[in-house]
Homo-oligomer: A and B are copies of this chain.
């Protein structure tokens, strides 16, 4: 019999919550996992069969780590691409493929890819220095994004005046028209090496403006079916243009006039798919494993309305994490707790998430509000 999932070793670059939930799902398939992360206390540490503390951006470290695995995947884009390319040349399977990660790592190349493939996206301009920004003809206000290493709201700022430019990044950036959007939505698509594709139903996101992080996620969306179908087609077009193997999260804006504009891609499990663990027949983590091990993709349909709340560290709390109100929220039916195994909390750190599942959408939202107001991560 050919080698199967239970015989193969999966190497994961990054040992945070996404890797942790992937491993949690992989237990069902006897998956052997190797994890590389620079943090000695990474959330995956005790769950991986082999944990290595080391840099995921260093060529030698990633290359030598990758040699130990059969299939390599990522839970964060900021990894050493050259090492992954070398591993691919030597016959290792890297999913998503190194060229996909390279493209997505650079928001400039990502935008050019959208343009070349007729993917709707906000107008943009690439700039290399602060001088280029000064001489841009884009009207204020606009969004300035660093091409590389932005994450969770870092590396993004709003430029409202010439004065703002002087405080901005002096690095290769992307100037983007500021979209007056009604809502941010996301579709997660998954593609296996056979080219089979499945999308999870479109979800709606609500942001915490202070932390610039998703605070609330509602699944499925209540936008008209026509818009949802359009979003799914866009996601599938991107996945097939990229020829990606694995998950691809596609974040989009719904503009005030009902158009969809692609904002950003993530070629991995994504925050906008956490509610699939309880809310859908298969989770994004299960689906990613199916794709990268070339197994049939699972049923992405929603079981129920689901609202996901990111559990962020409280302001002014730094230290060993305590979960205030945990007992109270666990008393409510349909409330599912996911803590990420992080010993220390700090303001706005992602410490876990809660999914509320309820057949009634309003009731799910109401419970989610209660959870948000009741559960606090303090020190």
Contacts and interface: CB of A to CB of B under 8 A. Distances in A.
Interface of A: 1, 4-6, 20, 24, 27-30, 46-47, 49, 281, 290, 295-296, 298-299, 303, 321-324, 326-327, 330-331, 333-334, 336-341, 357
A296 B330 contact: yes
A333 B281 CA distance: 8
Contacts of A323: 4, 6
Contacts of A20: 27
5 contacts: A4-B322, A4-B326, A29-B339, A290-B330, A296-B331
Given A5-B326, A28-B338, A281-B334, 11 more contacts: A4-B323, A4-B326, A20-B27, A27-B341, A28-B339, A30-B341, A46-B47, A47-B47, A281-B357, A295-B326, A296-B330
Contacts of A5: 326
Q: So how many copies of this chain end up in the complex?
A: 2
A46 B34 CA distance: 12
Contacts of A327: 4, 295-296
B333 A299 contact: yes
A377 to B, nearest CB: 11
Contact of A30 (B6, B29, B339): B339
A298 B333 CA distance: 6
A47 B51 CA distance: 12
A30 B342 CA distance: 8
7 nearest CB pairs, A to B: A296-B331, A299-B333, A30-B339, A46-B49, A28-B338, A24-B27, A1-B322
Given A28-B339, A323-B4, A324-B1, A295 B330 contact: yes
A334 B27 contact: no
B28 A47 contact: no
Nearest to A3: B322
Nearest to A28: B338
Given A290-B330, A324-B1, A334-B281, A27 B47 contact: yes
B341 A299 contact: no
Contacts of A29: 337, 339
A303 B326 CA distance: 24
Given A1-B324, A4-B326, A324-B1, A28 B337 contact: yes
B46 A330 contact: no
Nearest to A343: B30
